[in-house]
A and B are shown apart, each in its own frame.
Chain A
Amino acid sequence: MKHSKTILTFVFFLVLSVGSLQARSLRVVTTVPDLKDIAEKIGGEQVSVSSLLSGNQDPHFIEPRPSMVARVRRADLFIVIGMELDVWAFSLIDAARNRNITPGESGYLNASARIEKLDVPEPGTRLDASKGHVHPSGNPHYNLDPLNGVVVAETIASRLSELRPEYADYFESNLERFTEEARRVTEEISEALAKYENISMIAYHESWEYFAERFGIEIAGTLEPLPGVSPTSRHLSRMVRTAEDENVDFIIQASFYDQRPANFVSRQTGLPVVVAPAYVGGMEGADDYFAMFRLIQAKIVEALGR
């Protein structure tokens, strides 16, 4: 009897200590939902992730809100897109009183760190507004290449392994699964587009450079005369000519931009308009990173089939 009581006590303390060893999941906050989805896929049940923005919001200009401060304050890891896309994240960091997530610390992760960047201004370029909204580090829309997703996943996996070394193998196996799926999606899109030769498109904003680079699509022009500058009627007529001269197949734009300029060019040229998600959750059906690409693919193939 005395014996069983001792055993019971022992078991009780064992359960208690295991319970306390079972550390709480890492709180990860991201600026955009793509980073959230990738962090969730790599971190699995070891992380609880939330994104400050939803997929149908443009992350360029965001007014940081107090409710965001509260979320960043309690974060173990804050992941940003970087490349001057989400600079507003810095005022959140300044207000959050959470040293772990300040740049340079283990809780701050710039997901663009290992990305091979496109459109990096040449040294000596004027970085003022004379050429529109210029990003000194290059084009920040790298999330729209599924293999860049792999680079981001690797960056996140290595940071999670630093923060939770005991789960490094777990993160590694999740990364492998993610990489496999990303390669499969990339192949699927390449195969689907291989039926068409010399695909050429006009984009609203310079959002699709990485996507076009990956799948060999020509970008004949943008509806914005310069990045961040709203389309003018003169520039749109120029784009109508470009569409005719350069055998453009379709117009593509993120779901959150004004669709009137694209519709104007479409009416003049008969080109189909592809409205696609630029971030996870940007449209119905883009529920995760891979679903987003499958949706973009379906919409482009539909436009090419016309």
Chain B
Amino acid sequence: MQSYLYKRVFCIVLFITAAGMVPLLARDLSAEDTADEVEALRRELREMRAEQEKRERQLEAMEERLAELEIEPEEEAPVYIEPGRPDGAATLPDISIIGDIRGEFGPGLDDDVFLEELELAVGGFIYPQIRADAFVALHKHGDDYEVELEEAYVSFLDLGGGFAAQAGKKLIGFGKLNPIHEHAWNYVSRPLVLDKYLGDHGLAGNGVNLTWLAPLPWFLQLELGVWDLADDSHDHGHDHGHGHGHHHASPISGSAVSGRVWSGFAVGDDRDLEVGFSTIHGKGDHHDQERDRVSLYGMDLTYTWRGTGFERLLWRNEVIYNDRERATHNRRTWGFYSGANYRWNQHWDAGARYDWVEPSARNPRAEDMGTVNLTRSLTEETRLRVEFSHDFSSDYMATVQFLFGLGPHAHPLE
């Protein structure tokens, strides 16, 4: 029994050993007829190559088919790219910096180059149909810089029925230039009539402005504002670089009501005419002592002609009538400016303006001034301007202005 088991184990071991020896034996055997073997292998290789080529052809065909199929979905799935900013900045509001560097030369001036203003503007939508915009500026006052909140307001763009509203601190929509920031003006110098009647920082106040766009084929907008104007936000007492020596605070302080009717229509394909009437009523800036009340009435007329490419002629006029009522006597004066700008290509613009203001108690002589300038635009927001103003007697001023803009900057409708 046991011998049978041994025999069996021996047989298995022998079998395994023999099986393991087979390849070695085979190798020895094959060495004898190598030629046949090589031929067989070659045949096999040829077959494999043929197979591989067939596969490659199939793969190519499949790739082609895939490429054909891929064109279709591209057409079907358009990529919507809205004008805007690069991906990383998509969640940021529009942020921009406007700088105004000037060189002023003339009698009574330091003949130097300085930073007149640096404005930081941030704006964007805070809700559907609601925007928020803020403009903070650093102004040069003498040798120092003062921070001023120029504007910060919320705009409700569509209240229904053609109504819109703004609330916060804002430049008041009196006339054409007052609501526009100075860096967007066509001249460095402030028209005399604005300087004297609206103050050298313009009319700005805290309040609410309601506007209504009439449902007409042409543009007709009515504006009504209720404001609180600051009691002259700066206590200057010194000249701050405007060159003509005296400071004019806002003539109105405290609460005020403003109104404006504004219409614009195309006259022909390339010409536009705009007419506006503005008014503001409030307490005078000497109200505590003199109980004075100020009413300002303005009329503005703008003519725009657009030619080929960038060619444009802009003729802008404003007349302001100043009615100051006091306990003792009333004083009524008026003044105007008329300025034309011609832009002949993308880069160049030339302008000329005439200012005139009626004499008053403070200025016993009628004042007038002529200004000419030449502007070279590098980009939409970056400009180099040379300007010359003369008061037709002895005083003149030459100004070089470099305005730069950095970042997306939105301008409300002018």
Contact = CB atoms under 8 A, between A and B. Distances in A.
Interface in A58-84: 58, 61, 63-67, 69-70, 73-74, 82-84
A63 B412 CA distance: 10
Contacts, number: 125
Interface in A246-295: 255-258
Contacts of B78: 113-114, 155
Interface of A is mostly: loop
B84 interface: yes
B274 A66 contact: yes
Name the residue among A97, A110, A112, A230 with the largest chain B CB count within 10 angstroms.
A97
A54 B268 CA distance: 12
A254 B340 CA distance: 28
Contacts of B158: 97-99
Interface in B252-310: 262-266, 269-270, 272, 274, 304, 306, 308-310
A133 interface: yes
Contacts of A127: 85-86
A56 interface: yes
A61 to B, nearest CB: 5
B217 interface: yes
A199 interface: no
Given A65-B304, A66-B219, A258-B345, A113 B80 contact: yes
B265 A110 contact: no
A71 to B, nearest CB: 8
B83 interface: yes
A198 interface: no
B217 A74 contact: yes
B264 A58 contact: no
A123 B81 CA distance: 15
Interface residues on B, range: 35 or more
Contacts of A69: 213, 219, 264, 413
A258 B412 CA distance: 30
A127 B88 CA distance: 11
B81 A112 contact: yes
Interface in B188-213: 213
Given A84-B83, A137-B81, A230-B347, A97 B310 contact: no
A70 B413 contact: no
Nearest to B271: A67
B131 interface: yes
B185 interface: no
Contact of B213 (A73, A117, A129): A73
B219 A91 contact: no
Nearest to B376: A230
A230 B377 CA distance: 10
Given A137-B83, A230-B347, A91 B412 contact: yes
Given A64-B413, A91-B410, A256-B310, 7 more contacts: A63-B414, A66-B263, A67-B219, A69-B219, A110-B80, A117-B81, A258-B346
The 5 closest A-B pairs by CB, nearest first: A66-B264, A256-B309, A66-B219, A114-B78, A70-B219
Interface of A: 54, 56-58, 61, 63-67, 69-70, 73-74, 82-84, 87, 90-92, 94-99, 102-103, 110, 112-114, 117, 123, 127-129, 133, 136-137, 155, 228-230, 255-258
25 contacts: A56-B308, A57-B309, A58-B310, A65-B264, A65-B272, A65-B304, A66-B262, A67-B265, A67-B272, A69-B213, A70-B218, A74-B217, A91-B410, A91-B411, A94-B155, A95-B413, A97-B164, A99-B158, A103-B82, A110-B82, A123-B87, A129-B382, A137-B83, A228-B346, A257-B346
